[in-house]
């Protein structure tokens, strides 16, 4: 029996039969407060489940309901820069798939490469660029395949944001390995690849979920201007502070999306 199936059996013992999973990024853990009939499972109690040591990341799975829609939420994730393998980082996605979900909503904190997309706004990700330089020497390119960025879920997010006056733009997510923030020169290079937001997580999860045939919606919470876009030098404190400030609109957006998904 594979490890993922093993853990999915534990989750199924909660009776989970929902169609949607959410992965919460830095500082967004309070989303689970609004779930009803909640069951919490600590990552450390789930065999093989990766844990995070980064502040702002809780470490639990929460099964619960939003207006009778049952969902499972991963509150906190692990990162490549913590020394986790891609297999470990993507383990939760395989677990959710074994649990029978159809939709995966991924959230993250990200830096903006565009002055017109300031901290406090949200980007619905329509394309990605792998700038981890792990596998190939050729230049990274923009990938907008619908199997990684569900057109249906993106347009749902946009219409819900409009109805609720939440500032949501489309964006292309550039994945870097971290853990340090980028240099202004790197950010200038990413601009030439059509990147509009940059972050250190998420792409492994997107690629795994795409391979499994899940419908994927990625929402980047803009927590800072990327290096060189403004005078302010990016820091984890700024990221957590602005993620917290955005919590209300992110929670509202997620709730309304779940109701209609």
Window contacting ligand HPA (CB under 6 A); options: 44-52, 94-102, 137-145, 176-184: 176-184
In whole angstroms, how close is the CB of 21 to ligand HPA at the nearest point?
22
Choosing from 66, 74, 226, 261, the residue that interacts with ligand HPA (CB under 6 A) is: 226
Residue 223 near ligand HPA by CB under 6 A: yes
**Residues in Cβ contact with 211 at an 8 Å cutoff, skipping those fewer than 6 apart:** none
Choosing from 119, 140, 171, 199, the residue that interacts with ligand HPA (CB under 6 A) is: 199
Q: How many binding residues for ligand HPA (CB under 6 A)?
A: 14
Strand (E) or helix (H) holding 70: strand 69-75
Parallel, antiparallel, or unpaired for β 36-42 and 20-24?
unpaired
Q: Which of residues 133-162 bind ligand HPA (CB under 6 A)?
A: none
DSSP string, 78-90: --GGGT--HHHHT
Q: What's the rounded Cα separation, in Å, for the pair 97 and 142?
A: 26
Strand (E) or helix (H) holding 127: strand 122-130
The burial of 10, by beta-carbon neighbours within 10 Å (0-12 exposed, 13-18 middle, 19 or more buried), is given as middle
Site string for ligand HPA, 63-102 (x = CB under 6 A): ----------------------------------------
Window contacting ligand HPA (CB under 6 A); options: 89-97, 122-130, 135-143, 175-183: 175-183
The CA dihedral of 21, 23, 28, 33, to the nearest 10 degrees, is: 30
| Residue-wise burial string across 89-105, b where 16 or more C-beta atoms lie within 10 A, e elsewhere | bbbbbbbbbbbebebbb
Window contacting ligand HPA (CB under 6 A); options: 43-51, 133-141, 145-153, 197-205: 197-205
In whole angstroms, how close is the CB of 225 to ligand HPA at the nearest point?
8
Residue 204 near ligand HPA by CB under 6 A: no
Judged by beta carbon, residue 25 or residue 50, the one nearer ligand HPA is: 25
In whole angstroms, how close is the CB of 112 to ligand HPA at the nearest point?
8
Residue 131 near ligand HPA by CB under 6 A: no
Q: What's the rounded Cα separation, in Å, for the pair 258 and 261?
A: 5
Query: Distances from the Cα of 168 to the Cαs of 118, 138, 154, 233, in angstroms?
Result: 11, 32, 10, 24
In whole angstroms, how close is the CB of 159 to ligand HPA at the nearest point?
26
Residue 200 near ligand HPA by CB under 6 A: yes
Residues at the contact surface with ligand HPA, assessed by CB under 6 A: 109-111, 176, 181-182, 198-200, 223-224, 226, 234, 239
């Amino acid at each position: 029996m594979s490890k993922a199936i093993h853990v999915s059996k534990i989750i199924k013992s909660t009776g989970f039969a929902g169609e949607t999973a959410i992965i919460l990024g830095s500082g967004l853990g309070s989303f689970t407060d609004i779930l009803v009939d909640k069951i919490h499972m600590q990552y450390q109690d789930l065999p093989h489940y990766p844990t995070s040591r980064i502040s702002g990341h809780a470490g639990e799975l929460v099964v619960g309901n939003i207006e009778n829609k049952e969902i499972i939420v991963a509150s906190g994730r692990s990162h490549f820069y913590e020394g986790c393998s891609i297999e470990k980082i993507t383990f939760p996605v395989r677990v959710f798939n074994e649990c029978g979900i159809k939709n995966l909503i991924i959230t993250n904190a990200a830096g903006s490469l565009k002055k017109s997309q300031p901290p406090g706004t949200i980007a619905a990700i329509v394309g990605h660029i792998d700038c981890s330089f792990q596998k190939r020497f050729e230049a990274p390119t923009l990938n907008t395949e619908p199997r990684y960025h569900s057109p249906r879920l993106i347009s749902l997010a946009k219409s819900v944001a409009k109805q609720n006056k939440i500032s949501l733009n489309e964006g292309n997510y550039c994945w870097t390995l971290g853990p340090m923030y980028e240099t202004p020169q790197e950010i200038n290079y990413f601009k030439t690849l059509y990147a509009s937001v940059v972050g250190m997580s998420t792409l492994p999860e997107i690629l795994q979920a795409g391979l499994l045939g899940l419908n994927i919606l990625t929402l980047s919470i803009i927590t800072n201007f990327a290096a060189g876009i403004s005078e302010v030098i990016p820091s984890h404190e700024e990221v957590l502070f602005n993620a917290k400030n955005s919590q209300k609109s992110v929670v509202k957006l997620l709730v309304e999306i779940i109701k209609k998904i």
